[in-house]
Chain A
Amino acid sequence: MSICDLKLGDIAYIHSISGDNKLKKRLMSLGCTEGAEICLKNCAPFGDPLVVTMRGCDFCIRKKDAKNISIK
């Protein structure tokens, strides 16, 4: 399950990040580490990109990239 499968307002915990190394490193340095809380907060009018909250900050991320963040 990835954060794309969440509904607006849902909260989940990061399991792992796959895919592009650069993206992975970036997400990790922003605090997207195993066990961290993540919330799907909002999305753009056509459903992509998504707005997620991690460690108190809102970020927007494309669905394509978000698919790589698996949650538990």
Chain B
Amino acid sequence: MKTAALIGNPNVGKTSLFNSLTGSDQYVGNWAGVTVEKKEGFMDDDFKIVDLPGIYAMDAFSEEEKVAKEFLLSKEADLIINIVDASNLERNLYLTMQLMEYKIPMLLVLNMIDSADSKGIKIDYKLLSEKLGMTVVPISASKGIGLAELKVLLAGGDFLSRVNDNDFHMQNELEIYSYINSILSVCVKRNDAKSFSLTDKIDKVVLNKYLAYPVFLGMLWLIFQFTFSWAGQPMAAYLSYLVDDILVPSLRILLSGSSPWFSSLIIDGVIGGVGSVIVFLPVILTLFLGISILEDSGYMARAALIMDKAMRKMGLSGKAFIPLIVGFGCSVPGIMTARTLESEKDRKLTALLVPLMSCNARLPVYALFAAAFFPGNESIAVFSLYIMGILLAFILGMLFKNTLFRKSEEPFLIELPEYKCPELKNLLRHTWDKGKGFLKKAGTLIFAVSVFVWLLSNFSFNGMTDINSSFLAGIGNFISPVFIPLGFASWQNTVSLICGLMAKEVVLGTMGVIYGGNLSSAILSNFTGASAYAFMVFVLLYTPCVSVIATMKKEFGSRMAVFSVTYQLALAWIVSFLVYRIGLFIIK
């Protein structure tokens, strides 16, 4: 079997080509242990293609460059497929020159020849191939031009590939660029009339002094509306109707013959836990569809540009703004979006701050408490919690920046790609990738935790029992003294918070089961104004739910997950304590 490494600059259509070559029945696996993905797929069963991250050079500064370099040094690749943007050969060929030093046979694929053509760039492929000493294949991956020829060429192995002749020793960048220019000056003819491109026109509006922020907020508003009002949430509501009103009743009938513990395990444990998480799938899918559109169109780089100044104050670059915004919907996709950031430091710091953005799941808890304790001022009470989350993220960002992540500030250098219309095929693929991961988690981890919590809430050492004498109540009683200084110590509240680790809306569900009856009046007799607000603050800040912890572990490893959990617990306790003590003075 042959292995080919697919490598090129970011934004040259690498993934598009990868998908066309490997087809729909590809095997795509995340490689464990690395923070940057490389994907592999197969062409015709006996030709493995490894999709390496997009890089500009082989200098091993960034995580991406390290991954690419290590792979090429491992000698696993029999062939390098170097994909370049035909309309910007000058810069793209720099990487090509560096790749030549690895002495691996190489094939140069010129992508986006259609857009080069429309820009008036005429390339003499034959001459270019002669000058570089390697076969040059002109294609357009998105339009499907030249792909068949490329496949035949790859399968046949019949191409010219210069394996470094010894005279190739370039000392510095200037020399390499001069060499590239000497080749291009004879191979490329460009129509030099500088036209005002569409990208420039859009940027005139999108980066305009007065319009930039309104346009940015408008886009975010559209995505959030799409996710939470128009498409995602309604579908989630429908799914949840299917689970609660169709699936559960029919399961009850189906299981009526089996023993009560079994039907309780299935309905209260498995369906209650996994079901309540699965119904969020449409929200995740729609949110990611919206974000993929922003990414693929090229707007994301502009958003990073205009947010950079504010984000720098907390030690992050402008790009980190997007994950934080996503975090208002749900921390899980927020942390996953942090993947798109340049440096490991930025990814980690962002992931630590994302859970402070109050996610959707916490809203039901606020809604109930605010309505019961602060009638007339509900929206101010809830809004204050959102603001508190943002302020704390800023403060902690600055704190972490000066302590944990005290490395030099990464140079912020991002390319502003040309705008292009996102391809539906790619959008769906990105979106589904995210959805698949989510489903997998729901089927494994959340399933296991659901069953475990069900066991704890239904059993004691004496066998099956009701919740008041279960293990769960025992645990609640054991831990609840911790909450005495915060004003809401009782085993019921403690257990609710523990169960809230499953998902923060479970806090309410658990209270519903434990207190029984009308929840509003139950909490009115169990909390005071000050302790209610302290409780809300605790729900805002304490350890994210298991989905978030699992995502954190998957993306950054156990140590980060443990740290995230501990720092948030400490933060929640301290802030709630302060809020409660101050509240006691104000609300007598």
Contacts and interface: CB of A to CB of B under 8 A. Distances in A.
A27 B413 contact: yes
B208 to A, nearest CB: 8
B177 A33 contact: yes
Contact of A29 (B90, B173, B212, B408): B173
B411 A44 contact: no
B484 interface: no
Given A31-B94, A51-B416, A44 B309 contact: yes
Contacts of A31: 90-91, 94, 173, 177
Contacts of B203: 42, 51
A32 B375 CA distance: 62
Contacts of A30: 56-57, 91, 94, 413
A20 B412 CA distance: 12
Contact of A44 (B88, B91, B172, B212): B212
A60 B304 CA distance: 10
A36 B90 CA distance: 12
Contact of A61 (B173, B207, B208, B412): B412
Contacts of B88: 55-57
A23 B411 contact: yes
Contacts of B372: none
Given A51-B207, A51-B305, A59-B414, A45 B212 contact: yes
A60 B203 CA distance: 13
Contacts of A59: 413-416
B59 interface: yes
A19 to B, nearest CB: 9
A56 B173 CA distance: 17
Contacts of B56: 26, 29-30
Contacts of B1: none
B519 interface: no
A38 B150 CA distance: 36
B305 A58 contact: no
B193 interface: no
Contacts, number: 103
A49 B212 CA distance: 14
B456 interface: no
Contacts of A72: none
B412 A49 contact: yes
A18 to B, nearest CB: 13
Interface in B406-420: 408, 411-416
Contact of B413 (A23, A42, A44, A48): A23
Nearest to A50: B305
Nearest to B307: A44
Interface in B88-112: 88, 90-91, 94
Interface string A9-41: 000000000001011011111110111100000
Interface string B292-309: 000000000100111011
Contacts of A65: 411-413
A46 B56 CA distance: 29
A36 B178 CA distance: 10
B527 interface: no
Contact of A26 (B87, B174, B207, B411): B411
A29 B94 contact: yes
B90 A60 contact: no
Nearest to A27: B413
A20 B209 CA distance: 30
B394 interface: no
A7 interface: no
A60 B305 contact: yes
B213 interface: yes
B168 interface: no
Nearest to B310: A46
B348 to A, nearest CB: 19
B61 interface: yes
Interface string B156-199: 00000000000000001110010000000000000000000000
B275 to A, nearest CB: 45
Contacts of B174: 28, 33-35
Contacts of B309: 44, 46, 48-49
Given A27-B413, A57-B88, 12 more contacts: A20-B408, A25-B61, A26-B56, A26-B411, A31-B173, A31-B177, A33-B177, A56-B90, A57-B91, A59-B414, A61-B412, A65-B413
- A-B complex: 9 closest residue pairs judged by Cβ atoms: A29-B57, A23-B411, A28-B173, A58-B416, A33-B174, A45-B212, A60-B305, A55-B90, A45-B209
20 contacts: A22-B411, A23-B411, A29-B173, A30-B57, A30-B91, A30-B413, A31-B90, A31-B94, A31-B173, A33-B177, A36-B177, A44-B308, A45-B208, A48-B309, A51-B203, A51-B305, A57-B88, A61-B412, A62-B412, A65-B411
Interface of B: 56-57, 59, 61, 87-88, 90-91, 94, 172-174, 177, 203, 207-210, 212-213, 301, 304-306, 308-309, 312, 318, 408, 411-416
